[in-house]
Amino acid sequence: MSESIYSKPLPRGDHYNGEFYGYCKQHELRFQRCSDCGTWRHMPRESCRNCGSFDWTWERSNGTGRIFSWTVIHRALHPGFNDELPYAAVVVELDEGVRVVSHVIDLDIADLVVGLPVEVVFEDVTPETTLHKFRPVSSASR
């Protein structure tokens, strides 16, 4: 998809945020993990909230989790989302314990339920940017 067609805001590509989306571009969901205490974290940052360590690595997530919460947006704050109204901003709690805000595809808003198993999918929205989204886990892959 060309950048001129994609009309929604894109994530910032600097510092740790850029590293996170760099992995998304490779169709990998990775999070920082503390090398001292093993705590996973998101949003990316310099030190561990649990032990304060500055030693960490980017670790690959298995990309599965459950819907933790959501909110339904009925009035878009950016015109690029007008055609999707209403849509849900969903908080997914991944198996590693981190929570991310994203969208769930292939599911009607009315079918959202807390605890619904989901898996990551990637959408290449521009040549430079790939976004992570989630879809319900099919019964065949459980």
What average pLDDT does the segment 25-36 reach?
A: 98
Give the list of residues 6+ apart from residue 112 with CB closer than 8 angstroms, or none.
67, 70, 88, 90, 104
Going by C-alpha positions, the residue among 77, 39, 40, 34 that lies closest to residue 56 is 34
Residue 53 lies in a domain: yes
Residue 7 lies in a domain: no
Give the list of residues 6+ apart from residue 3 with CB closer than 8 angstroms, or none.
126, 127, 128
Kindly report the number of other CB atoms within 10 A of residue 43's CB atom.
12
| Residue 22 host element (H or E) | helix 15-25
What average pLDDT does the segment 29-55 reach?
A: 96
Going by C-alpha positions, the residue among 39, 62, 64 that lies closest to residue 52 is 39
Residue 10 lies in a domain: no
pLDDT reported for residue 14: 81
Residue 8 lies in a domain: no
Full residue range of the structural domain in which residue 40 is found: 15-141
Stated pTM of the model: 0.89
Would you call 85 helix, strand, or coil by DSSP? coil
What average pLDDT does the segment 131-139 reach?
A: 91
User: How many domains does the chain divide into?
Assistant: 1
Q: What are 70-126's pLDDT values in tens digits?
A: 999 999 999 999 999 999 999 999 999 999 999 999 999 999 999 999 999 999 999
